[in-house]
Structure formats: structure tokens, C-alpha cells
């Protein structure tokens, strides 16, 4: 079943290609992103030891989570939801228009749609979801963020190498504005979600990305982000100011302690087995 979905996805993506180099560049960026999110989702499925049915639902969720990005970039020439449309909602619209979940029972279909709807939300109410919805939502949010850290890392290095080639569709904002907004830094220090509306500078955007770390649910996902050096890159690129120094200390301590705790629990399980 997933093979046929992959074929449909490839045709859907290709249908948005055109003679506009800017559009095509970003179409391919999101094609690659979806591929990488699927790989990260597969890893989570294996780590969580999900049964074949749940694994299939998780992979469908990963494949369809960003369908709305393709019409979004064509129509609005940006990936900024506030400046265009909610890409998660548009992803569900694409699924509905193309009957992509036809054949699935209602429970499974609703779980996928719920996870796609919530994958980009600042936060969500865990109590309002059933077990399957909660599982898929947590998995896609983590798998998505793992690869978003890759995308923003590459974009940042691309800018440093050649400022003129930077992909503005990603929506980092003004690279020249490096000051940290106190309210944004304070939210990260408290481990609270950063509101997009409050982001004013490039440093604020980095702080927003660092704030995501407190929302990563699975230790394996956090370890993946850490081991690839994305956290170190963001922290080292912050300006040298008291607020950002406090952010560095807070984030480094949180990540270190959480991964140490996770490793300790794993070692205990190994001894028991």
C-alpha cells in the first residue's frame, strides 16, 4: 500500500514544478524534507517497536504531513504560514480532495488527520486525543523537527558562504538584525514555547528553534538532534550577551541532563534483561 502512496506523492510533487527556478528549488527542498522525515519516522517506529499496522499509519502520516507546502510555495512564494496559509490545514485539504485515506477505517483516518493537523502547532492538548492520535502526533512532531534542524542548519551555512544565495522562502528574517528580544529569550530560559508573533530578529528565530528542544517528546529524537551537532551550531551562533549566555547555560544543562537520564534508564534495562 505504501508503494502506491509513494508513486502518487512523486506525481503530486512533480505536478507543481514549473519554469520558475525559485519555485522549483523549494519544491525539491520539500520533496527532500518529506523523504528525510519518512526516514526519521521509520527509525522511531523501530525504536518504539511498533507493530506493522501502526508502522504503516506512522509512515502515511510522515508522507502526507507537508502536502500543503507544495501549493503554498506556488501560490504565495513563501513557507511562512502567517504570510500565506496554514500548511497543515492545506495538507488535510489535499488529502480530502484526493481521497488519500480512502480504504482506511475511520479511527485510523482520524488519527492521521489529527497528527497532520497538529504537527506544526506551538502546543496541543494531549488530554483531548485518544491513544493512537497521541502516538502519531508525538511521532510526527519529533520526526519533522529532526529534519527541520537539518534544513535550518544548511540554510544558515549557505548564508555564511554566500549571502546572495540564501533561500528567502525559509523565512529566517533579517540576518543583519542580531539582537535578542528579551521576551523571546526569557521564554526559552523558562522552557516555554516561543510565539512566532514575537519573533523580530534572526537571533529570535534561533531562540525559537532552541525552544523547540523542550517540546521534543522522545529521548531518541533529542539524541538524534544533539548527535548531529545542530544544537551546538545554534548555541555557538548566538551573540555574546547576558541573555544569550543564560540561554546557552539553560539549553546545555537541559539536554545534558535529559540525555544522561535516558542513558541511565537504558543501562538499567540492559542489566535487567
Q: How far apart are CA 97 and CA 183, in angstroms?
A: 41
Domain count, the chain: 2
| Cα–Cα distance measured from residue 244 to residue 180, given in angstroms and rounded to the nearest whole number | 7
Residue 187 lies in a domain: yes
Residue 153 lies in a domain: no
Give per-residue pLDDT as tens, 86-130: 999 999 999 999 999 999 999 999 999 999 999 999 999 999 999
Write the DSSP symbol of residue 67. Answer: T
Alpha helices in 119-241 (DSSP H): 131-161, 182-189, 202-211, 219-227, 230-236
φ, ψ of residue 51 in degrees (nearest 5): -75, 165
Banded pLDDT at 270 (limits 50, 70, 90): very low
Confidence (pLDDT) at 124: 95
Spatial separation of the C-alpha atoms in residues 262 and 7, rounded to whole Å: 38
Give alpha helix (H) positions in 51-198. Answer: 52-64, 69-76, 87-97, 106-118, 131-161, 182-189
Read off the pLDDT band of 177 (50, 70, 90).
low
Q: Are 166 and 155 in contact (CB under 8 A)?
A: yes
18 in the same domain as 139? yes
Whether residues 64 and 129 share a domain: the answer is yes
The three cell numbers of residue 63 are 508522507
HSE at residue 143, side-chain half, CA atoms within 13 A, is 33
Same domain? For 59 and 189 the reply is no
Position 37 pLDDT exceeds 50:
yes
Determine the structural domain holding residue 63 and report its residue range: 2-144
Residues 6 or more apart in contact with residue 104 via CB below 8 angstroms? 112
Residue 193 and residue 245 in one domain: yes
Task: Say if residue 14 is in the same domain as residue 134.
Answer: yes
Query: In CATH, what number is assigned to the domain containing residue 70?
Result: 1.10.3210
Amino acid at each position: 500500500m505504501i508503494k502506491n502512496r509513494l508513486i502518487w506523492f512523486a506525481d503530486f510533487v512533480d505536478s507543481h514544478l514549473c519554469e520558475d527556478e525559485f519555485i522549483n528549488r523549494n519544491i525539491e527542498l520539500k520533496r527532500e524534507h518529506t523523504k528525510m522525515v519518512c526516514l526519521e519516522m521509520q527509525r522511531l517506529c523501530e525504536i518504539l517497536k511498533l507493530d506493522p499496522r501502526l508502522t504503516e499509519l506512522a509512515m502515511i502520516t510522515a508522507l502526507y504531513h507537508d502536502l500543503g507546502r507544495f501549493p503554498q510555495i506556488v501560490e504565495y512564494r513563501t513557507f511562512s504560514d502567517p504570510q500565506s496559509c496554514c500548511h497543515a490545514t492545506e495538507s488535510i485539504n489535499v488529502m480530502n480532495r484526493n481521497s488519500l485515506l480512502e480504504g482506511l477505517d475511520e479511527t485510523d483516518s482520524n488519527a492521521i488527520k489529527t497528527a497532520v493537523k497538529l504537527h506544526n502547532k506551538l502546543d496541543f492538548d494531549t488530554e483531548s486525543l485518544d491513544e493512537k492520535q497521541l502516538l502519531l502526533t508525538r511521532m510526527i512532531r519529533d520526526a519533522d523537527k529532526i529534519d527541520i534542524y537539518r534544513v535550518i542548519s544548511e540554510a544558515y551555512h549557505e548564508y555564511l558562504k554566500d549571502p546572495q544565495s540564501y533561500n528567502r522562502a525559509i523565512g529566517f528574517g533579517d540576518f543583519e538584525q542580531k539582537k535578542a528580544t528579551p521576551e523571546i529569550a526569557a521564554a526559552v530560559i523558562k522552557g516555554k514555547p516561543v510565539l512566532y508573533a514575537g519573533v523580530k530578529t534572526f537571533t529570535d528565530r534561533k531562540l525559537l528553534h532552541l525552544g523547540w528542544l523542550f517540546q521534543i517528546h522522545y529521548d531518541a529524537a533529542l539524541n538524534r538532534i544533539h548527535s548531529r551537532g545542530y544544537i551546538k551550531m545554534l548555541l555557538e551562533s548566538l551573540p555574546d550577551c547576558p541573555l544569550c549566555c543564560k540561554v546557552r547555560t539553560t539549553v546545555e544543562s537541559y539536554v545534558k541532563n535529559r540525555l544522561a537520564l535516558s542513558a541511565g534508564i537504558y543501562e538499567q534495562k540492559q542489566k535487567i534483561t
